């Protein structure tokens, strides 16, 4: 079975060709924010046509992880909080025309959660809470082996939890959102340096993990997950970040709670969403 897996992110997009569970082809490029959905679709289309002609890769299933809210039941993009012009864009119709098969789509955090649960650092951990910590923040829940999306597809969206009431204004219009305080986009705007650089500074990390733990505490108190897996660029900081984060979480969690605090970086690096799209494509919609 050949699967085309697509990860549409705020700063880059990736496409993979799977043969069974094996990633046989992969291509990743920067997202042109000005170009919008038409530009992005044309890029995916060029990559796929090239694979089809030169590698004989013909997709039998297509899975898409999208970096923004997706109405899963309707299989539509609600909007992209980081790239304009996506609302109502018929991405799945276009991919259907391209590949001759109906794709399945979900938001990238739910998809990344599936990838880590079946192929990465979340194996055997049920329920699993997955958080993507990069340009923005998203959350995904895997419960009993499948993505738990809630009544209206908006479950797990911890990026806009209020962690600092009266804090700075978020892109969503509210103040002090988890994403506003912790995501890569805002760290760079607030501190004038990319997150990667900031996380080299121990002093900065000590303060940062206080905010970072506030959001994860909510996930632990509500879900009591068997494990929390964090993906996205910021999670690449490794133990420099995870060690103080676990300590801070232990400090913040309610004293009587014996909920485990097992927080680990993603096992699939940049490919959590691609592997998740492979899993998603195998689920019928
Ligand atoms: Zn917000």
Q: DSSP secondary structure string, 100-124?
A: SS--EEEEHHHHHHHHHHHHSTTTT
119 CA to centre of own chain: 15
> Over pLDDT 70: what percentage of the chain?
98
Distance separating alpha carbons of residues 41 and 43, to the nearest angstrom: 5
- How far does residue 102's CA lie from ligand 1's centre (Å)? 32
Q: What is the CA radius of gyration of the chain?
A: 18
Of 38, 31, 103, 108, nearest to 67 by C-alpha is 108
The pLDDT of residue 34: 81
Which residues is 90 bridged to in the sheet?
none
Which stretches within the chain are classed as H helix?
36-54, 91-99, 108-119, 178-182, 184-191, 195-198, 202-223, 239-252, 272-282
The pLDDT of residue 276: 98
- How far does residue 160's CA lie from ligand 1's centre (Å)? 4
Q: Are 67 and 110 in contact (CB under 8 A)?
A: no
- How far does residue 133's CA lie from ligand 1's centre (Å)? 14
- How far does residue 175's CA lie from ligand 1's centre (Å)? 7
- CATH code 3.30.420.40 region(s) in the chain: 2-110+271-283, 124-267
What is the architecture of the domain spanning 124-267? Answer: 2-Layer Sandwich (3.30)
- How far does residue 165's CA lie from ligand 1's centre (Å)? 11
What is the architecture of the domain spanning 2-110+271-283? Answer: 2-Layer Sandwich (3.30)
- How far does residue 170's CA lie from ligand 1's centre (Å)? 5
- How far does residue 207's CA lie from ligand 1's centre (Å)? 20
The pLDDT of residue 2: 97
- How far does residue 234's CA lie from ligand 1's centre (Å)? 19
Q: How far is CA 79 from CA 38, 94, 250, in A?
A: 15, 17, 36
139 CA to centre of own chain: 7
Q: pTM for the whole thing?
A: 0.95
Mean pLDDT for back-to-back runs of 10 residues, the chain (285 residues): 94 95 96 86 97 97 94 87 76 96 96 98 97 94 96 94 96 95 96 95 97 97 97 94 97 95 97 98 76
- How far does residue 55's CA lie from ligand 1's centre (Å)? 43
- How far does residue 137's CA lie from ligand 1's centre (Å)? 10
Sequence-ordered list of residues with C-beta below 8 angstroms from that of 41, at least 6 positions apart, any chain: 91, 94, 95
- The model's pLDDT over 206-232, given as tens digits with 9 standing for 90+, comes to 999 999 999 999 999 999 999 999 999
Distance separating alpha carbons of residues 81 and 185, to the nearest angstrom: 12
- How far does residue 171's CA lie from ligand 1's centre (Å)? 6
- How far does residue 181's CA lie from ligand 1's centre (Å)? 9
The pLDDT of residue 224: 97
């Amino acid at each position: 079975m050949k699967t085309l897996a697509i990860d549409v992110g705020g700063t880059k997009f990736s496409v993979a060709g799977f043969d069974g569970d094996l990633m046989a082809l992969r291509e990743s490029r920067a997202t042109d924010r000005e170009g919008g959905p038409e530009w992005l679709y044309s890029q995916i289309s060029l990559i796929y046509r090239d694979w089809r002609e030169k590698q004989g890769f013909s997709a039998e299933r297509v899975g898409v992880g999208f970096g923004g809210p997706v109405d899963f039941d309707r299989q539509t993009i609600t909007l992209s909080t980081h790239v304009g012009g996506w609302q109502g864009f018929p991405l799945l119709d276009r991919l259907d025309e391209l590949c001759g098969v109906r794709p399945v789509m979900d938001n990238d955090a739910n998809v990344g959660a599936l990838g880590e649960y079946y192929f990465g650092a979340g194996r055997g951990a049920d329920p699993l809470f997955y958080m993507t910590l990069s340009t923005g923040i998203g959350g995904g829940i895997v419960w009993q082996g499948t993505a738990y999306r809630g009544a209206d597809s908006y479950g797990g969206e911890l990026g806009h939890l209020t962690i600092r009431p009266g804090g700075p204004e978020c892109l969503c219009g509210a103040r002090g959102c988890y994403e506003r305080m912790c995501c890569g986009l805002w760290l760079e705007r607030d501190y004038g340096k990319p997150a990667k650089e900031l996380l080299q500074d121990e002093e900065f990390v000590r303060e940062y993990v206080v905010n970072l733990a506030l959001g994860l505490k909510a996930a632990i108190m509500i879900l009591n997950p068997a494990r929390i897996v964090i993906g996205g660029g910021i999670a690449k900081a490794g133990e420099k970040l995870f060690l103080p984060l676990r300590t801070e979480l232990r400090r913040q969690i309610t004293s009587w709670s014996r909920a485990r605090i097992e927080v680990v970086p993603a096992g699939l690096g940049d490919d959590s969403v691609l592997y998740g799209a492979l899993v998603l494509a195998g689920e019928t919609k």
